[in-house]
Structure 1
Amino acid sequence: MKKWMLSILLNAVALIVVDQLFASFYLEGFGTALLASVILSVLNIFVKPLLVVLTLPITIVSFGLFLFVINAITLMITQVLLGSSFVISGFAMAIGAAVILSILNLILQRLIKDTILVQRR
């Protein structure tokens, strides 16, 4: 549970960073970022595996790059669910945001992991 909550928090921070970087990616505030992060987490548990299986051939042919399109689809679904408090202007922005969110989450998780390892020593 702690790990999931930390993941939600890190994803919310990454969403805020993307919001600050691009005018075509809008979040109403940190509360919306947290809610979007929870929704994305649920979609990643239930919807993403189905999309991955359905698009497996194209994912293999694209050497996994199609996974960014799947992540963009989950972002667009989240946008629909949250309405005007979370707006992504177009699918190209959703793909760009998916790429940046993946990179930011990787960096943030690595920083947290390294910090925890240093504290345990």
Structure 2
Amino acid sequence: MLSFILKWVLSAVAVLIAAYILPGVTVETFWAALWVAVILALFNAILRPILVILTIPVTILTLGLFLLVINAVIVLLTDSLIGNFYVSGFWWALLFSLVVSLLGAIFDNIAEKAN
């Protein structure tokens, strides 16, 4: 349980850092960042596999680059659900997803070594 809470908080911190770095993304409160982390996790667990399967031909034609589009769409969907989270457009959503993924990998590595 503690590991789950730690991952959740670290994901929220990654969201806050990404919003701080990127001028096209705004997160107004830490609570909003926690909600963004939850919604992104749910969308990545439920919606992303469906979208990946439905877009296999396009993904193959683009040599996997279309998966970045799917990530950006998931961020934009999260933006539409969370009131205190704003993304200025597709390219900011794409950059946000890349930064959050990179920070998440770094934080997971640090948390793994701490245990």
Return the TM-score normalized by structure 1.
0.85
The answer for the alignment partner of 1:56 in structure 2 is 56
Conserved? CA contact 1:36–1:82, under 8 Å: yes
- The residue number in structure 2 matching 1:17 is 17
Which amino acid in 2 is paired with 1:59? T
What corresponds to 1:86 in structure 2?
Answer: 85
Runs of 5+ unmatched residues, structure 2: none
Q: Specify the alignment match of 1:119 in structure 2.
A: none
Task: Please tell me the residue identity of whatever aligns with 1:22.
Answer: L
Cα offset, 1:52, TM superposition: 0.8
**Residue 32 of structure 1: aligned partner:** 32
Alignment-mate amino acid for residue 81 of structure 1: L
Could you tell me how far 1:3 is from its partner in structure 2? 4.1
What is the Cα deviation at residue 77 of structure 1?
0.6
Q: Which residue pairs with 1:76 in the alignment? A: 76
Structure 1 residues 60, 11: CA separation in 2 closer, same or farther (over 3 Å shift)? farther
Runs of 4+ deviating beyond 4 Å: none
Q: Distance in 1 between matches of 2:61 and 2:2?
A: 37
The range that moved more, 52-61 or 8-17, is: 52-61
Cα separation, 1, equivalents of 2:74 and 2:99: 14
Cα distance change, pair 2–44 in 1 and its aligned pair in 2 (3 A): farther
Between the aligned partners of 1:74 and 1:50, the Cα distance in structure 2 is: 12
CA 1:4–1:58 in structure 2 vs 1: closer, same or farther (change >3 Å)? Answer: farther
The whole-number CA distance in structure 1 between the counterparts of 2:113 and 2:104 is 14
CA–CA distance in structure 2, aligned partners of residues 2 and 68 of structure 1: 31
The answer for unaligned runs of 5 or more in structure 1 is 117-121
Q: Secondary structure of the residue that 2:23 maps to in structure 1?
A: coil
Taking structure 2 as the reference length, the TM-score comes to: 0.89
Cα distance in structure 2, aligned partners of 1:44 and 1:5: 18
Alpha-carbon distance in structure 1 between the residues aligned to 2:6 and 2:61:
34
Q: Distance in 2 between matches of 1:56 and 1:15?
A: 28
1:33-71: CA deviations, max 9, x gaps? 001111111111211111111112222333333222211
Kindly, what percent of the aligned residue pairs are identical? Answer: 36
Which residue of 2 is the match for residue 42 of structure 1? 42
